[in-house]
Amino acid sequence: MTQRQPRPEDKLDDQGNVLSNAARLFREKGFEKTSLKEIAEACNMLPGSLYYRYNTKEALLVELMRRGIYLVTEEVEVAYASSDDPVEKLRLCINAHLRALLGDSDMVYVLLFEWRALSPEARKEIIKLRDQYESLWIDILETMIKQGVIQQGVDGRLLRLLGLGALNWVATWFDPNGTYTPDTIGNFVWKAIVNGVINQSAQREHMRRFTNA
């Protein structure tokens, strides 16, 4: 009987299995308390097979963080392109960020809370990817400031840092079986921003365009 040769999709399935189990264990136990041996056992594979793919725990962590950033970026880019109204664009991007953050994947949670485990060199790579993602938000807010949608005197950088910080912190208390959905939370945050920094004429224009949409 001939032995079946591994197919390309087998390799992809193995990688997905490794990443999902690693993300789950890192989230449940923390990076420092999780061993590569435990990850291999969770994946029903020999430790040597895992070491062949990821020779260090950090290599696995970096790959998870890369994918976490790509996941959030993809969600927000779709939202970003879906409206030409700056106030509505902000709402859609806030909700997209939260949906990616609070979805079924553990990768984004690991991305947010395991930074301390990265070496300085690995941290540089992930920070570069994070900065590329945050450039979307810089563009949104700078456009709103230039168009006069955001009130004069508002610090766009501070608004971005506080806003993303508040959104990311939702991951620490969100209950998927609780009262609030990601969109409920996102719309609340959006309304707080709109009421706090968006000028009234821009609010009225948004209401006119989208209340009955």
- Phi first, then psi: what are they for 3, rounded to 5°? -80, 135
Q: Domain 62-210 maps to which CATH number in 3.30.390.30, 3.40.640.10, 1.10.357.10, 1.10.645.10?
A: 1.10.357.10
Q: For domain 1-55, which architecture applies?
A: Orthogonal Bundle (1.10)
Written as six digits, the tokens of 76 are: 């927000």
Domain borders along the chain are: 1-55, 62-210
Q: What is the pLDDT along the chain (213 residues), one digit of tens a residue?
A: 333 343 343 444 678 889 999 999 999 999 999 999 999 999 998 888 898 889 899 999 999 999 999 999 999 999 999 999 989 999 999 999 999 999 877 888 899 999 999 999 999 999 999 999 999 999 999 999 999 988 888 899 999 999 999 999 999 899 989 999 999 999 999 988 878 777 777 777 777 888 765
Sign of the torsion angle spanned by Cα atoms 139, 145, 150, 156: positive
CA distance 140 to 89: 8
Sequence-distant (6+) residues with CB within 8 A of 66 are: 126, 129
Nearest CA among 114, 116, 123 for reference residue 29: 114
Question: Can 1-55 and 62-210 be said to share one CATH topology?
Answer: no
Tokens 């779709």 correspond to 78
Q: What is the pTM of this model?
A: 0.82
